[in-house]
Amino acid sequence: MDNDDNSHVYGYVAHGWESIRSAFKQNLVDGLDIGASLCIYYREECVIDLYGGWKDTQTKKEPYTSDTLQLVFSTSKGILAAAIALCVERGWLDYDARVSECWPEFACNGK
C-alpha cells in the first residue's frame, strides 16, 4: 500500500509487470487521473488488478476502491474497432457483408 503523494495504489501485480503499476501510480501523482482502476488478463491469467486515487476531486476524502463504479461512456468503441479490423484482416468478417450473413437472426421481422 502506498500513502505518499496522496496517491494511494492498491491491488495485485504479477512478477514482471511492475512497470505498469509504476505508470498507473504516476498518472495519479501527475494529476492525469484522479481515481482509476485497471485489470489486465494475459493468456487467461490476471497479471494486473490495481485501483487507487480518489472518487471525490474536491476534498479527496473518499478513496477510489475496487468496488467504485465508473462511467466510461464510449471507451470500448476503439477496442471494438481494432478487434473488427483484426477479424477482417484474418478473413473472419467482411466489411461489405450484410449483418444477416454473420447473424441470421438479425434479418428477422423484415430487417
Does residue 56 share a domain with residue 11?
yes
Residue numbers annotated as active site: 74
Number of domains the chain contains: 2
Does residue 110 share a domain with residue 80?
yes
The confidence score (pLDDT) of residue 38 equals 96
| pTM, 2 dp | 0.65
Instruction: Round to whole Å and give the CA distance between 62 and 21.
Output: 21
The confidence score (pLDDT) of residue 5 equals 54
Does residue 62 share a domain with residue 20?
yes
The confidence score (pLDDT) of residue 1 equals 40
Residue 4 predicted with pLDDT over 50: no
Does residue 80 share a domain with residue 33?
no
Cα angle vertex 39, ends 35, 44, to 5°? 180
Does residue 47 share a domain with residue 15?
yes
Find how far residue 92's CA is from the centre of its chain. 25
Range of the domain at 10: 1-68
